[in-house]
């Protein structure tokens, strides 16, 4: 876990806010769902009754080391789409997944 400062460019002043950035590394598509849902739910506070400010939510990135084409090369694109869909449902921005 690492806390960084997110700074916006402004000629007169800079606005900064602390934000937690997390990187989840998985070996295969669907590992994020099969093994890490409880952790991700806690990080994203999906079970919280009170909605917190989005700026306080952690910035979560996902790096999947394969595309899931172990049986057939044609499985890769399908599994990749499923990975992005799962991330969307979990609450991870698809642009932060690869």
Q: What's the confidence (pLDDT) of residue 94?
A: 76
Question: To which H or E segment does residue 3 belong?
Answer: strand 2-8
**Across the chain, what does the average pLDDT equal?**
76
Q: What's the confidence (pLDDT) of residue 17?
A: 55
pLDDT in tens, the chain (98 residues): 444 444 334 443 333 356 788 999 999 999 999 999 888 888 888 556 555 565 567 889 999 999 988 888 888 999 999 999 999 988 888 787 77
Q: Buried b / exposed e across 1-29, counting CB within 10 Å, b at 16+?
A: eeeeeeeeeeeeeeeeeeeeebebebeeb
């Amino acid at each position: 876990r690492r806390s960084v400062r997110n700074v916006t460019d402004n000629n007169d002043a800079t606005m900064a806010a602390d934000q937690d950035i997390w990187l989840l590394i998985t070996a295969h598509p669907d590992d994020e769902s099969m093994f890490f849902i409880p952790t991700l739910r806690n990080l994203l506070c999906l079970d919280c009754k009170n909605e917190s400010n989005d700026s306080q939510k952690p910035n979560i990135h996902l790096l999947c080391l394969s595309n899931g084409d172990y049986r057939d090369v044609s499985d890769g694109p399908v599994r990749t789409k499923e990975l992005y869909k799962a991330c969307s449902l979990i609450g991870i921005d698809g642009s932060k997944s690869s």
